[in-house]
């Protein structure tokens, strides 16, 4: 059994990124990582633009200016102003070549066609110069950059409509357990509605990854070995749910042994998720996640996510970790490290009730996991604790 930090270190040390790339329309590239640096085909902005509604001045040594018309956003005229002349201008409109400053409309007095500017003016005031955001030929985004709405919109503002990205990992999900049934079956004695398929599928989709296949295995060594063998042939990452503990009907570890999967670690001093397994066979990785749903998701967020991010070509070490004050006192009754479902609210973090690994109810309300290192003592209200922000944090 190893410590949390050691387990994470082992995951993060596996650093090969997938090399195959594909070119996608921007709309399909959300959450994908750039296969190469982006070179800007244009200056941004391409023209000198006004950043204010106001007046574009051809400056002189006096405060009064004569109004000579207007330029609004989208216009292409270029009035030739003489010193002491100005035009009405609006945000996003091209500043005439002959103008050297823009003053905000709130800062002037207007009488007829005469504008009085009673404040110091400097060259370039309120003008967004050509290339001031990005110069033509420059590389504003590096290889590996993950693309979110902002990145995709930025590429579009450069006139780019498709982008070369690293392919996503092929992920297969294997669910084990004779007790599992789907919601369209009647709930009979001994059975439970299976939830980890949805859990893992959606958590993957949030990272821009559609699982290749979700398969099911009954609790037998033959079935488990056969499903795993099949998955290892095509997947980059196999996520197994359940069957990795030490019960008589847990066959995943033995099946992985049969298939000569190399164990990178098995069992972590943590709660939830002690029997977590991580292994590798050639280019395929296997995570066997303990089947209790809160363990499955916790292990996914802490260990699987960083591996997927690396494979996709990024540098992420997983969920963002911040130190936040506890909203209340807390004492751990457990020597293992803890990942506790928690709610970040008003700049403090509250540890939720119902922490057992079988319980998703607290996870459903959580936006963070509080990490309590092993052998921590008691915490008082206001003590800072390491908090991992879940991907949905801003939405809660
Ligand atoms: P295991 O890791 O196979 O020992 O399972 C631990 C607990 O998690 C058991 O109570 C299982 O019934 C439950 N479990 C396993 N797989 C799932 C699943 N896919 N959905 C919901 N609960 C599960
Ligand atoms: Mg089981």
Can you name the CATH fold of 21-43+132-166?
Molybdopterin biosynthesis moea protein, domain 2 (3.90.105)
- Any idea which fold 320-389 has? Beta-clip (2.40.340)
Spatial distance between the Cα atoms of 255 and 237, rounded to a whole number of angstroms: 16
Polymer length in residues for the chain: 396
Residue 219 beta carbon below 6 angstroms from any ligand 1 atom? no
Q: How far is the C-alpha of 101 from the C-alpha of 124, rounded, in Å?
A: 5
Q: Which residues of 279-291 are buried (b: 16+ CB within 10 A; e: fewer)?
A: beeeebbbbbbbb
Q: Which residue has the tokens 């902002």?
A: 150
Q: Is any atom of ligand 1 closer than 6 Å to the C-beta of 272?
A: no
Question: What is the enclosing helix (H) or strand (E) of 280?
Answer: strand 277-281
CA angle, 251 as apex, 246 and 257 as ends, to 5°?
100
- For residue 219, give the ligand 1 atom closest to its CA: 3
Domain borders along the chain are 4-19+168-311, 21-43+132-166, 49-128, 320-389
Q: Measured from the CB, is residue 228 less than 6 Å from ligand 1?
A: no
Sign of the dihedral through C-alpha 50, 54, 57, 62? negative
Separation between Cα atoms, residue 287 and residue 268, nearest integer Å: 13
Residues 288 and 276: beta-carbon distance below 8 Å: yes
* Ligand 1 near 313 CB (within 6 A): no
**How far apart are the CA of 380 and the centre of ligand 2, in A?**
38
CA of 177 to the centre of ligand 2 (A): 4
End-to-end CA distance of the chain, in Å? 35
Protein residue whose Cα sits closest to atom 14 of ligand 1: 291
Please tell me if the CB atom of residue 195 comes closer than 6 angstroms to any atom of ligand 1: yes
Q: Is the dihedral of CA 255, 256, 259, 260 positive or negative?
A: negative
pLDDT for 396 equals: 58
pLDDT at residue 85 in the model: 98
| pTM, two decimal places | 0.91
The H helix count followed by the E strand count for the chain is 8, 26
**CB burial readout 177-205, b (16+ within 10 A) else e:** beebbeeeeeeeeeeeebbbbebbbebbe
| Chain centre distance of CA 125 | 37
User: Which pLDDT score, from 0 to 100, does residue 315 have?
Assistant: 84
Q: What is the CA radius of gyration of the chain?
A: 29
CB of 217 closer than 6 angstroms to any ligand 1 atom: no
Domains 4-19+168-311 and 320-389 fall in the same CATH topology: no
Q: Is 290 in the pocket of ligand 1 (CB under 6 A)?
A: yes
The Cα-based distances of 50 to 53, 96, 120, 319, 331 in angstroms read 8, 10, 18, 40, 58
Which residue among 194, 215, 291 is best mutated to probe the pocket of ligand 1, counting the most ligand atoms within 8 A of its Cβ? Answer: 291
Spatial neighbors of 321 by CB under 8 A, at least 6 apart, are: 371, 386, 387, 388, 389
201 in contact with ligand 1, CB cutoff 6 A: no
Sequential pLDDT tens for the chain (396 residues) = 999 999 999 999 987 789 999 999 999 999 999 999 999 999 999 999 999 999 999 999 999 999 999 999 999 999 999 999 999 999 999 999 999 999 999 999 999 999 999 999 999 999 999 999 999 999 999 999 999 999 999 999 999 999 999 999 999 999 999 999 998 999 999 999 999 999 999 999 999 999 999 999 999 999 999 999 999 999 999 999 999 999 999 999 999 999 999 999 999 999 999 999 999 999 899 999 999 999 999 999 999 999 999 999 988 889 999 999 999 999 988 999 999 999 999 889 999 999 999 999 999 999 999 999 998 989 999 999 999 999 977 655
Give the distance (Å) from ligand 2 centre to CA of residue 307. 25
Cα of 22 vs centre of ligand 2, distance in Å, is: 38
In the DSSP assignment, the letter for residue 184 is T
Within 10 angstroms of residue 20's Cβ, the number of other Cβ atoms is 7
Q: What's the pLDDT at 14?
A: 82
Quote the pLDDT of residue 17. Answer: 82
Q: Would you state the pLDDT for residue 339?
A: 98
Who surrounds ion ligand 2 at CB < 5 A?
177, 242-243
- Tell me the two tokens of residue 393: 């944090």
- Topology at the third CATH level for domain 49-128: Molybdopterin biosynthesis moeA protein; domain 3 (2.170.190)
Residue whose CB lies within 8 A of the most ligand 1 atoms, among 242, 295, 296, for a mutation test: 242
For ligand 1, atom 8, name the residue with the nearest CA: 292
Q: Which residue has the tokens 């823009």?
A: 102
**Alpha-carbon torsion 72, 152, 315, 349, what sign?**
positive
Q: Which CATH class is domain 4-19+168-311?
A: alpha beta
């Amino acid at each position: 059994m190893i410590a949390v930090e050691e387990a994470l270190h082992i995951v993060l040390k596996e650093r090969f990124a997938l090399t195959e790339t594909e070119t996608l329309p921007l709309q399909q590239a959300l959450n994908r990582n750039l296969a190469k640096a982006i070179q800007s085909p244009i200056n941004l902005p391409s023209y000198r633009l006004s950043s204010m509604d106001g007046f574009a001045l051809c400056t002189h040594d006096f405060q009064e200016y004569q109004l000579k018309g207007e330029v609004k956003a989208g216009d292409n005229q270029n009035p030739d102003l003489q010193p002491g002349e100005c035009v009405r201008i609006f945000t996003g409109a091209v500043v005439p070549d002959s103008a050297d400053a823009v003053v905000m409309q709130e800062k002037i007095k207007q009488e007829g066609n005469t504008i009085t500017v009673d404040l110091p003016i400097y060259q370039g005031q309120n003008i967004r110069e050509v290339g001031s955001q990005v110069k033509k030929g420059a590389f504003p985004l590096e290889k590996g950059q993950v693309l979110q709405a902002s990145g995709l919109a930025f590429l579009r503002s450069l006139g780019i409509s498709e982008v070369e990205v690293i392919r996503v990992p092929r992920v297969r999900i294997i669910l084990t357990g004779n007790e599992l049934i789907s919601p369209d079956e009647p709930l009979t004695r001994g059975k439970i509605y299976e939830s980890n398929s949805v859990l893992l599928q959606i958590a993957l989709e949030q990272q821009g990854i559609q699982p290749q296949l979700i398969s099911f295995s009954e609790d037998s060594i033959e079935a488990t070995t056969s499903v795993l063998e099949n998955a290892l042939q095509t997947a980059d990452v196999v996520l197994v749910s359940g069957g990795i503990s030490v019960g008589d009907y847990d066959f995943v570890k033995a099946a992985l042994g049969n298939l000569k999967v190399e164990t990178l670690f098995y069992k972590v001093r943590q709660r939830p998720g002690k029997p977590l397994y991580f292994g590798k066979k050639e280019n395929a990785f296997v995570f066997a996640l303990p089947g209790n749903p809160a363990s499955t998701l916790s292990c996914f967020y802490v260990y699987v996510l960083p591996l997927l991010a690396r494979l996709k070509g990024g540098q992420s070490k997983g969920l963002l970790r911040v130190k936040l004050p506890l909203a209340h006192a807390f004492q751990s009754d457990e020597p293992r490290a803890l990942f506790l479902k928690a709610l970040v609210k008003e700049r403090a973090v509250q540890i939720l009730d119902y922490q057992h690994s079988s319980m998703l109810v607290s996870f459903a309300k959580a936006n963070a996991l509080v990490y309590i290192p092993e052998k921590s003592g008691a915490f008082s209200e206001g003590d800072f604790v390491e908090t991992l922000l879940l991907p949905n944090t801003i939405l809660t």
